[in-house]
Amino acid sequence: MAHPPTQSQSRAANKPKRSNLLRCIAIFILALIILVGIAVIIIWLVLKPKRLEYTVENAAIHNFNLTDANHLYANFDFTIRSYNPNSRVSIYYDTVEVSVRYEDQTLATNAVQPFFQSHKNVTRLHVGLTAQTVALYDSVPKDLRLERSSGDIELDVWMRARIRFKVGVWKSKHRVLKIFCSPVLVHFSKGKSFERAPCDVEL
């Protein structure tokens, strides 16, 4: 007469099944990771992504007025060169904000119209910013007056953009692009030629 399997025998019989299932899951996950890694490497080799390049090509300041109460009024004009060196990647600039700073104090901010930059394209952004009765603090008014009397002023130009990459019909999610240009030497006299200022790009 056959006896039904005991509880310990049933557990022993189920152990190989569980271990085989776990082994299959582990192999599947490992294979998936390897395939994703290979796909990323292939995409990178095909696209060969290159860092975006930015420079300030021209800068000017007009209507500069620093009052006795340390309030600044001035108009700033910048020409910023944007170069996309990639041969297969285009870029959507959905929002772009530009600010000009002096000694970590923001003097003026303005938005740039959204634009699309195709691959191997150079786009020049002409940005006008107005500092209107901006209150200055600490040593900023004194330093500004000294630089004004010297005829030149060193400024920092910051850009922050929300961008998307486009490759063929595929579009990426939004990424934040940060651009920092310093120092940007601006001349009060129109007789002096402007020297291009390179920018650091962080993505």
pLDDT given at position 45: 45
Taking residues 15-20, what's their average pLDDT?
Answer: 67
41-53 pLDDT per residue, tens: 555 544 456 889 9
Counting residues of the chain whose pLDDT is more than 70, the rounded percentage is: 85
63-95 pLDDT per residue, tens: 999 999 999 999 999 999 999 999 889 999 999
- Identity at 135, one-letter amino acid code: A
Report the SS3 class of residue 165: strand
Counting residues of the chain whose pLDDT is more than 90, the rounded percentage is: 62
In eight-state DSSP terms, residue 143 is: H
Contact of 149 with 95, CB cutoff 8 Å: no
Q: Quick check: 139 pLDDT over 60?
A: yes
DSSP string covering 25-59: HHHHHHHHHHHHHHHHHHHHHHH-----EEEEEEE
CB proximity list for 179: less than 8 A, separation 6 or greater: 54, 157, 158, 159, 160, 161, 199, 200, 201, 202
Separation CA 90–CA 127 (nearest Å):
22
175-195 pLDDT per residue, tens: 999 999 999 999 988 778 899
Q: Quick check: 12 pLDDT over 90?
A: no
Q: Quick check: 156 pLDDT over 80?
A: yes
Separation CA 42–CA 87 (nearest Å):
16
107-126 pLDDT per residue, tens: 999 999 999 999 999 999 99
Which letter, b or e, does each residue of 21-35 get, where b requires 16 or more Cβ atoms within 10 Å of its Cβ? eeeeeeeeeeeeeee
How many other β-carbons are positioned within 10 Å of the β-carbon of residue 117? Answer: 20
